[in-house]
Amino acid sequence: MGHSGMSNSIAVIGAGSVGISSAIHLQQRGWRVTLVDRKAPASETSWGNAGVINPSSFVPLNNPDLHNSLGRYLRNTSGSLRFQKAHLLKQLPWVLGFLEASKTRRAQASSHALFMLTRQAVDEHRALMQRTGNAARFSETGWLKVFRNGGPERASQALTGFAGRMMHELGIDIEVLDRDALQAREPTLRPIFNSGYHLRAGGRVDNPGLLMREHAERFVADGGKLLHGDVSEIEEKQDSVSWTCEGELKSSDRVLLCAGPWSGDLLARAGYDVTLGVERGYHAHYELKGDVPAHSVHDVDGEYIVGPMTGGLRLTTGVELAPRDAPSDLSQLEQVEPRLFEAFDVTGRTDEPVWRGARPTLPDSVPVIGPAPRSDRLWVNFGHQHIGLMTGPVSGKLVAQLLSGEQADADMRAFAPSRWITRRRKARANSWLARRLRA
Ligand SMILES: Cc1cc2nc3c(=O)[nH]c(=O)nc-3n(C[C@H](O)[C@H](O)[C@H](O)COP(=O)(O)OP(=O)(O)OC[C@H]3O[C@@H](n4cnc5c(N)ncnc54)[C@H](O)[C@@H]3O)c2cc1C
């Protein structure tokens, strides 16, 4: 253990996949951890995702393959990507940064960084599940990508792009399937698909929210403190950090901010600016008539992902670029829903209301993990975009290693917070000029 003595209290703000995992890894290293959330653990983004845990998911959306689809996306009718124009203009620094990072060199660097996380994801999830005793939630079935259009060669062609080449380069186990092989691999699929490929490693969980909530319960059973409340302020002091929860002032040696898509709000109040965007997405559950599929399936031409969950067959949608808190727009879901009915034997949507979440995304799609710039009190771990369920346990381990003065199991320069976070100068109200002007 790299730290010592009494100075080892830490508040982890945000109990999603990232915060819960970080809290557990800190607890295992002897820290006195308070995990804080205004909701029950894993009620937000970590609740409603597609449950895919797969080492192949390291290629970010903003890669050169995106350029071929940009024309189509700009028409704003695609099920995969929708946007609100005014929002894009307001978020221009993020949008430009996101596009800039899609160039080949940058996308390669992001992919290599993210692979350091995804390659460890199954092992780190297994370690947590073993401890909590909920390993039955994970099925190691890999992930199927299936294609309706383009004939038997389509799946192989799809792998010749940037993402396919990166997966090949990094040794991802891919099996290309023709029509019959695909039907044999996933017999619950209606025979409308001409080809597909199977990413054979990794798998899916049957309820991502409960998986993480059970880990949080285990953290508490092991002596961790779970505090229910809204954190409004964080302020760094000389030898501690104070934070305000439900109006009550608290203090600890360190604060680790894991507030997912809300991280920017709290950072701003602590005197930092961050270029954080959100990619919103929805899910709905459907009742199956026939057998339950074994795999999570990405219907590439159908523009949705689907997987069997405890609440039914869960369909998750693509990306909507809109303000985090704007009202839901169900048009993407309604657009792809009939395609689900073409692909699987489902009777209809369950009574459960449609869920919406906001993937927290930095312009280069790589999370920030480490101390905030020029700080050693305030630490961050957020920005896990489309892969935060799978990579939470990995980044949680890495940040705990760094905080404890251990050698981290990854080259942490790739995750440097200074890429997207800047520390503001002292509040303008107290500057020399402001005082002079007021005088
Ligand atoms: C449709 C969709 C499908 C996805 N599919 C997958 C997938 O298949 N696999 C995968 O790995 N990832 C997937 N993701 C991404 C994944 O869900 C996210 O990356 C991940 O959940 C982010 O976790 P987090 O802990 O950073 O954020 P969150 O889960 O949002 O946690 C942040 C927490 O902070 C709390 N909080 C915020 N502000 C405050 C405050 N001021 N005071 C107190 N508490 C606060 C919130 O209540 C929340 O609980 C998907 C996402 C979406 C939207």
- CA–CA dist 10, 368 (Å, integer): 18
**Are 159 and 174 in contact, with CB atoms under 8 Å apart?**
yes
Count of CA atoms in the C-beta half-sphere (13 A) of 124: 28
Instruction: Name the more confident of 267 and 431.
Output: 267
**150-201 per-position pLDDT tens digit:** 988 999 999 999 999 999 999 999 999 999 999 999 999 999 999 999 999 9
CA dihedral 215, 218, 219, 220 (to 10 degrees): 130
**Are 318 and 78 in contact, with CB atoms under 8 Å apart?**
yes
Residue nearest to atom 4 of ligand 1 (CA): 49
- CA–CA dist 321, 416 (Å, integer): 25
The predicted structure's pLDDT at residue 3: 46
Atom of ligand 1 nearest to the CA of 296: 8
- CA–CA dist 13, 17 (Å, integer): 12
| Ligand 1 pocket test, candidate residues 49, 207, 361, most atoms within 8 A of CB | 49
Q: Which residues contact 228 (CB under 8 A, 6 or more apart)?
A: 36, 37, 38
Q: Which residues contact 428 (CB under 8 A, 6 or more apart)?
A: 434
**Are 277 and 31 in contact, with CB atoms under 8 Å apart?**
no
Q: How many CB atoms lie within 10 A of CB 135?
A: 13
- CA–CA dist 296, 281 (Å, integer): 17
What average pLDDT does the chain have? Answer: 96
Q: Which of 66-70, 180-184, 386-390, 431-435 has the lowest mean pLDDT?
A: 431-435
Q: What is the pTM of this model?
A: 0.96
Report domain 9-423's class.
alpha beta
- Report residues whose beta carbon is within 6 angstroms of any ligand 1 atom: 13-19, 36-39, 43-46, 49-52, 230-231, 258-262, 266, 281, 283, 316, 357, 359-360, 382, 384-390, 392
Residue nearest to atom 26 of ligand 1 (CA): 260
pLDDT confidence bin for 409, thresholds 50/70/90: very high
**66-124 per-position pLDDT tens digit:** 999 999 999 999 999 999 999 999 999 999 999 999 999 999 999 999 999 999 999 99
The predicted structure's pLDDT at residue 425: 78
| Ligand 1 pocket test, candidate residues 321, 324, 389, most atoms within 8 A of CB | 389
Q: At what angle do helices 208-221 and 121-132 cross, to 10 degrees?
A: 60
Q: Which residues contact 218 (CB under 8 A, 6 or more apart)?
A: 24, 131, 132, 133
For residues 144-150, average pLDDT: 97
What would the two tokens of residue 337 be?
Answer: 């829903």
Domain ranges of the chain: 9-423
Residue nearest to atom 12 of ligand 1 (CA): 387
Q: In this prediction, what percent of the chain has a pLDDT beyond 70?
A: 96
How many residues are present in the chain? 439
CA of 384 to the centre of ligand 1 (A): 8
